[in-house]
């Protein structure tokens, strides 16, 4: 829609923006993270551009059923973190604009809870509804 002129602006992933910014079809104004993106190092953060409150990054997570025994959760987490540490995986994901961090089950649960509270407040404050 953005490339077709249907909408005047959008917040999109670095992965989606980079090729179009490089070709000149889109102009990247700012990134939402707390620091500049390694894939778009010349693009400032929103904070650098004078806009506060936009220091948020999307994330991907792997989830298991709530009743999964803790030893299985820990083994799964350790195996995933080993894969995320692999240089070939890191390189490929970096090429796609994904910043791999890895985590622990408890730290990820905290991330989910924090974002749920943060975005829930935004939704309630602005009375956002699904159509």
Range of the domain at 1: 1-58
Per-residue pLDDT of 67-83, as tens digits, reads 999 999 999 999 999 99
Under the banding of pLDDT at 50, 70 and 90, the label for residue 102 is: confident
Would you tell me how many other CB atoms lie within 10 Å of the CB of residue 20? 15
Mean pLDDT of 96-110: 89
* Shared-domain flag, residues 75 and 26: no
DSSP state for residue 50 in the 8-state scheme? T
User: In a 10 Å sphere around its CB, with 0-12 CB exposed, 13-18 middle and 19+ buried, how is residue 89 labelled?
Assistant: middle
Same domain, yes or no: 110 and 63:
yes
Mean pLDDT in residue range 91-96: 86
Contact 35, 44 (CB under 8 A): no
**How high is the pLDDT of residue 129?**
92
Average pLDDT score over the chain: 91
Residues 85 and 66 both lie in one domain? yes
Q: What is the pTM of this model?
A: 0.73
pLDDT in tens, 56-67: 888 889 999 999
Indicate if 69 and 130 belong to the same structural domain: yes
Q: How far apart are CA 125 and CA 113, in angstroms?
A: 18
- Give the CATH number for residue 2: 3.40.190.10
Structural contact between residues 64 and 78, judged by C-beta atoms closer than 8 angstroms: no
């Amino acid at each position: 829609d953005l490339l077709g002129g249907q909408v005047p602006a959008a917040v999109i992933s670095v992965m989606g923006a980079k090729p179009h910014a490089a070709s000149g079809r889109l102009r990247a104004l700012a990134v939402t993270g707390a620091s500049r993106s390694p894939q778009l190092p010349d693009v400032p953060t929103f904070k650098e551009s004078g806009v506060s409150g936009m220091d948020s990054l999307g994330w991907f997570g792997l989830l298991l059923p709530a009743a999964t025994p803790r030893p299985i959760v820990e083994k799964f987490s350790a195996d995933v973190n080993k894969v995320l540490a692999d240089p070939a995986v890191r390189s490929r994901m970096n090429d796609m604009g994904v910043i791999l961090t890895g985590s622990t089950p408890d730290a990820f649960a905290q991330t989910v809870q924090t974002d749920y509270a943060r975005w829930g407040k935004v939704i309630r404050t602005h009375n956002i509804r699904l159509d």
